[in-house]
Each structure stands twice: as structure tokens, then as C-alpha cells.
Amino acid sequence: MSGRDGTPSPKADYGAAPIAGFNAKIFALIDESAGEPGHDTLDLSGVVFPGPVNFTGRTMPAVLFSHAYFHGGAYFSDAQFLGAASFAATHFADLAYFSEASFVGEVDFTDTRFGGVTSFVHAHFAQHTRFTGAQFADVVSFSEARFAGIVDLAGVRSADDVSFTAVRFGGRASFADVHFGEDALFEHARFGAEAFFANAYFGRDAVFANTQFSAYADFTDACYYGNADFSVTPFDRSAQPPMENCAFQRVSFVGADFGRTTTFSHRPFQAASDFTRCAFVVAPVLQGCTFYEATALPEGAA
């Protein structure tokens, strides 16, 4: 166990009892800060956590974990963050669980490194949320999370599967320059404002089936090395969101590179859409699509 500069940490030889004692001191600081209205932001930046730490269900004050090191599993499931929370440049060496966590203030995971399985399933983000430049070394899931404000995931890199299934994005969402190493799942997600995927890299399948785009969607110069699925399930009135709400309002696929099978089956295009300079290895499937009259269609579409 070492710090950011590679110097061995004095906590390297901690066993179960010292780890529990260290965690208890951290919990006491958090409880004291959370229990005092108007208390200054709790600064835990740079703290080295020598083993697993469990914040499950805990009420958290405004807190800085920036540049902290979690050398064991970090469990924040069902935690409530009452103010701004920063995990900028934090290193999670093992599991990081934020399932059903609630963030009232702004959240910053800029340049954070996630070394193990990571979960933000059912997490709620009330304000501006940043994951810019974050790196995920293992499977990560945001399934059914809620982002009420702007969310910035530009430059995120994931080595394994990533899921945004049934996520609701209330504000502008940026995935510009992301690098998805394996499957990227967005089925049934809802984008309530602009969605930006310019220069995105999809290393395997990109699944946007039944995804709702309520405003402009930008996939300019995106690269798809697996299958790309933008289809809508027809005639299913029980689908969430319903088929009629899955139309592209305005979309750009200018310069996109589709490396395998691409389908837009039954997807409505209700505003001008642009496929200029697209490259398709296999002709895209457009069965059942409806198009705005100004749409520039790809050549050889099926």
C-alpha cells in the first residue's frame, strides 16, 4: 500500500482491528459534521483508507474526498449527501458501490479511477454532475439512475461493459470523446435535453434500443466497432417510453463510422437528420422508419 507519490503508507500493515478503529474515527468526523447545520465542508481529501469502509445508509455532509485512496471496497449505498461532494482524482482500488445514493448538491468525479466493479444503480443526482476523464477498469452500471441537472461524462474511459439502461437525464448530457471498451447499453434511457456523443468510441455493441431523445442528439464522428442498435420496438403500448416518444428530434451522424450491423428499425425521425460522410460496412436497416423530409439518408439503406 502506497500513497500517490509511491511512498509506502504507514497504514500498509494495518489488520482488521486497526482498520476498524481508523474507520470509526472517520465516521465520528462525518456524524459530527452532518449534525451541525451550516458546518464547513468536511475535508477528507488525500486520506488513505487502508481497507474496506462501509458508509451504507449514512448521512453525509458537504465533503471532499478528492485525491483519497480507497484500498478496499468502498460502500456508499443508500448514503445521503446533503451538500456538494467531491471525489475528484480519487482512486478506488476495489469495489465502489453508490447504489441508491442521493446527492443533493453538485458532484465531482473528475479524473477518478475506479479499479473494481462500480455501481451507481438507482442513484439520484440533483445538480450538476461531473465524471469528466473518469476511468473504469471493470464493469460499471448506472442503470435506473436519475440525473436532474447537467451531467458531464466527456472523456470517460471504460475497459469493460457499461450500462446506462433506463437512466433519466434531465439536463444536457455530454459523452463527447468517451471510450467504451466493451458493450455500452443505453436501452430505455431518456434524454430530456441535448445529448452529445461526438467522437465517441464504441469498442463493442452500442445499444440505444427504445432510447428517448427529447432534443438534439449529436453522434458526429462516432466510431462503432460492434453492432449499433437504435431500433424501437413497434406496437408495444406498454413499452417505457412509448414508441411515439422515441423519435429523433434532430440528430447528426455526420462522419460516423459503423463497423458492423446497424439498425434504426421503426425509429421516427421527426426533424432534420444528417448522415453525411457516414461509413457503413453493412447497409443500415431502416425498416419501419419515418423521416422528416429534409433528412439526408445514408446510401444503400435497407
- Which of 50-64, 215-229, 276-290 is predicted least confidently? 276-290
- DSSP string for 276-294: TT-EESSPPB-TT-EE-TT
What pLDDT sits at residue 280? Answer: 93
Show the domain range for 140: 16-291
Tell me if 105 is assigned to some domain.
Answer: yes
Question: Does the residue 300 lie in any domain?
Answer: no
Residue 11 domain-assigned (yes or no)? no
* pLDDT tens by residue, 179-234: 999 999 999 999 999 999 999 999 999 999 999 999 999 999 999 999 999 999 87
Sign of the Cα torsion 242, 173, 186, 147 reads: negative
pLDDT of residue 234: 76
Nearby residues of 253 by Cβ (< 8 Å), 6 or more positions away: 219, 220, 222, 273, 274, 275, 278, 298
The total domain count for the chain is 1
Whether pTM > 0.85 for this model: the answer is yes
**Full strand arrangement of the beta sheet holding 184-185:** 53-54, 74-75, 96-97, 118-119, 140-141, 162-163, 184-185, 206-207, 228-229, 262-263
pLDDT at 294 exceeding the cut of 90: no
pLDDT at 54: 97
Domain assignment of residue 8, yes or no: no
Tell me if 66 is assigned to some domain.
yes
Contacts of residue 105, defined as CB under 8 A and 6 or more positions apart, other chains included, come to 62, 81, 82, 83, 84, 85, 126, 127
Residue 296 forms part of a structural domain: no
Average pLDDT along the chain: 90
4 within some domain: no
Residue 298 lies in a domain: no
DSSP assignment, residue 210?
A: T
- 126-136 pLDDT, tens digit each: 999 999 999 99
